[in-house]
Structure 1
Amino acid sequence: MGTVLFTFLFGLAVSVDSFGIGCMIGLKKIGISQKGIFLIALLSGGCFLLSASFGQWVMPFIDQTHAERLGALALIGIGLFFIFQYVKSPNEPVEDEKIWVQPTRVLQSPETADVDRSGQIKGMEVLILGLALSLDTLAAGFSSSFIGVDPFQVTGLIVIMTSIMLCVGIKSGAKLSKKVNNISVLPGMLLIIIGLIKLV
């Protein structure tokens, strides 16, 4: 697979969930300002770059003959974890003060990021949603160091694609079926595919 295509696929894998989250927020008639969307995208990109930098720091201490295989297996594990988190239904509502320590519940029910029920995600609520969307970028960023992905290129892609997908998702959410929630499994599936490609 070409380097450009592989880099694009990797960036897509850690950004496409923004579209599904945006659609679910749009379905609930909850808004986010353009500034808020951009801050979320920057947070996702920053988390990816930070974790990728840590992965590169760890690289010299790992046997290089096994590094790519370890990274691929890690991506497959991350993909399976996120698919499990997305398909698992919340058993009970999350109390507002627990949102910070249960960000995966925000991914399952994005409207919970609107803590004050104002119909607008703003202020610290933007950070809550940004942290939830950054979970896969943190894990994928560390693993990317072992499979030869350029962290700066992917970071730029994440910022651009997250901004676009979140914005389009919010605007189109009201026009789409609630079945759009099923797109949430796509990031995990893409990460598994990338891991399998690197294993072959």
Structure 2
Amino acid sequence: MGTVLFTFLFGLAVSVDSFGIGCMIGLKKISISLKRICVIALLSGSCFLLSASFGQWVKPFIDQTHAERLGALALIGIGLFLLFQFVKSPKKPVADEKAWVQPTRVLQSPETADVDQSGHIKGMEVLILGLALSLDTFAAGFSSSFIGIAPFQAASLIVIMTSIMLYTGVKTGAKLSKKVNNISVLPGMLLIIIGLIKLV
């Protein structure tokens, strides 16, 4: 598989959940400005670059014959975790102060990012949503350094794709069925596929 296509699929895997989360936010009539969407995308890309850089630093200390296999297995593990999060029975969403310390709740119930229930994602709520979207990005960034993905190119792609998908999701969410949440299964599946490709 070509390097460009492989990097694109990787960027898609860690960004596509932004569309599903954006749709769910839109369905709840919660708005978020383009400026704040860009801030969230930059946070996601920065988290990826930080973890990928750490992975590049650790890589020389690991036997190269095992490094790629380790990265592939890590991606499969992340993918399985995301699938588990998707199939786990959702709890009734409550937009309260717990969202500040539990960004994982935002992945299950995106509307909880609107802590003050104002109908707008603003202020520190942008950080909550950004951290939630960066959880899998951070983990995938570290793993990517072992399977030959260029950090800067992938980080730039993640920023662009996250911006587009989150913006599109929010703007079209109110027009779509709640079944759009099923798109959340794609990141896990794609990461597992990428990991399996690198294993064979």
Question: TM range, normalised to the smaller chain?
Answer: over 0.9
Partner residue of 2:76?
Answer: 76
Between the aligned partners of 1:96 and 1:198, the Cα distance in structure 2 is 42
Give, in angstroms, the shift of residue 94 of structure 1: 5.0
Partner residue of 1:184?
Answer: 184
For 1:44-123, list aligned pairs within 5 A. Answer: 44-94=44-94, 96-123=96-123
Moved over 4 A (4+): 92-95
Aligned-partner SS, 2:15 = coil
With over 3 angstroms needed to count, the CA separation of the structure-2 counterparts of 1:95 and 1:33, relative to structure 1, is closer
Between the aligned partners of 2:92 and 2:20, the Cα distance in structure 1 is 22
Are the counterparts in 2 of residues 85 and 104 from structure 1 also a CA contact under 8 Å?
no
With over 3 angstroms needed to count, the CA separation of the structure-2 counterparts of 1:43 and 1:61, relative to structure 1, is same
Q: TM-score, normalised by structure 1?
A: 0.97
Between the aligned partners of 1:73 and 1:55, the Cα distance in structure 2 is 15
Between the aligned partners of 1:161 and 1:93, the Cα distance in structure 2 is 27
How many pairs are equivalent? 200
Give, in angstroms, the shift of residue 93 of structure 1: 4.3
Q: Which runs of 5+ in 2 are unaligned?
A: none
Between the aligned partners of 1:76 and 1:108, the Cα distance in structure 2 is 21
Q: Which runs of 5+ in 1 are unaligned?
A: none
Partner residue of 2:132?
Answer: 132
Are the counterparts in 2 of residues 90 and 105 from structure 1 also a CA contact under 8 Å?
no
Partner residue of 2:42?
Answer: 42
**What percent identity do the matched residue pairs reach?**
87
Q: TM-score, normalised by structure 2?
A: 0.97
